[in-house]
């Protein structure tokens, strides 16, 4: 059996281009609006009620800017389906930056720590992998109540790497797990909006991992928390790295991964 998908592909391409173009056009006016709102909130002559109103407007402008940024990132990833580059990535650096971002969003309300880090590296795109891990961490913060714990780890076993983000938050019901990587799909709509989520974080993670020939595994139980695991294949693993390798951005020539 054969089926002509020309029209459906054309419509899908049009939708993707439209979202990307509109997001790009919204970025400049939003930047101007956000800038003037920031200036307005710094006015020392504002009374408390007016200041509250200006701060609310600034908060919403920042949420719109975050949504536009995520839409642009997702559009870029969808348009570029080619395998990611193979630069040498220090996983410890990615975890440290993701943990720092999580602590900033948490504002001290959660305990965020890095449990263990294997010495092996990853061959891929540093910026995209950092984005994926940061999205997992900030997602954990948003769905974990105050005083909760979030743990990051990186280990290598059985010829593959496992980068995990574990929390003791509200958890995810089994029927939601297959859909959490869809655009704008929210397990708890009110909680995600209250904490500033755009609903695109896990969709971005899915596309980043696709380009790295990696997989996302989700283990969760309602009321007990969730563990998001990025499974890195052997072809994307680098042997234990040192500072000299990181400076050069290459894998040692003796590496068994070269040429895979």
At residue 208, the pLDDT reads 93
Count how many residues are written for the chain: 260
Contact 196, 66 (CB under 8 A): yes
pTM score, two decimals? 0.75
Phi and psi at residue 7, to the nearest 5°: -70, -45
236 closest CA partner among 215, 254, 222: 215
DSSP code for 222:
T
User: Per-block average pLDDT, block size 10, for the chain (260 residues)?
Assistant: 81 71 80 89 87 89 85 80 89 95 92 92 94 94 92 93 95 90 74 63 92 94 93 91 51 36
At residue 191, the pLDDT reads 55
């Amino acid at each position: 059996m054969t089926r002509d998908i020309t029209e459906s592909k054309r419509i899908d391409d049009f939708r993707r281009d439209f979202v990307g173009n509109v997001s790009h056009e919204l970025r400049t006016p939003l930047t101007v609006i956000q800038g003037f709102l920031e200036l307005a909130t710094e006015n020392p002559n504002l009374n408390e009620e007016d200041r509250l109103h200006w701060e609310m407007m600034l908060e919403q402008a920042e949420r719109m800017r975050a949504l536009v940024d995520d839409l642009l990132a997702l559009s870029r990833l969808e348009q570029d389906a080619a395998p990611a580059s193979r630069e040498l990535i220090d996983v410890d650096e990615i975890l440290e930056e993701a943990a720092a971002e999580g602590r900033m969003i948490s504002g001290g309300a959660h305990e965020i720590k890095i449990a263990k880090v294997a010495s092996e590296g990853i061959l891929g795109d540093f910026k995209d992998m950092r984005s994926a891990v940061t999205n997992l961490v900030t997602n954990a913060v948003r769905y974990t109540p105050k005083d909760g714990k979030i743990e990051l780890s990186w280990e290598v076993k059985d010829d593959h790497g496992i980068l995990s983000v574990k929390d003791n938050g509200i958890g995810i019901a089994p029927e939601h797990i297959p859909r959490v990587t869809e655009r704008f799909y929210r397990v708890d709509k009110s909680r995600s909006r209250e904490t500033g989520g755009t609903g695109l974080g896990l969709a971005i993670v899915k596309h980043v991992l696709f380009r790295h020939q990696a997989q996302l595994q989700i283990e969760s139980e309602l009321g007990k928390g969730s563990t998001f695991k990025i499974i890195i294949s052997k072809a994307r693993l680098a042997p234990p790295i040192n500072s000299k390798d990181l400076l050069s951005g290459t894998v040692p020539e003796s590496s068994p991964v070269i040429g895979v």
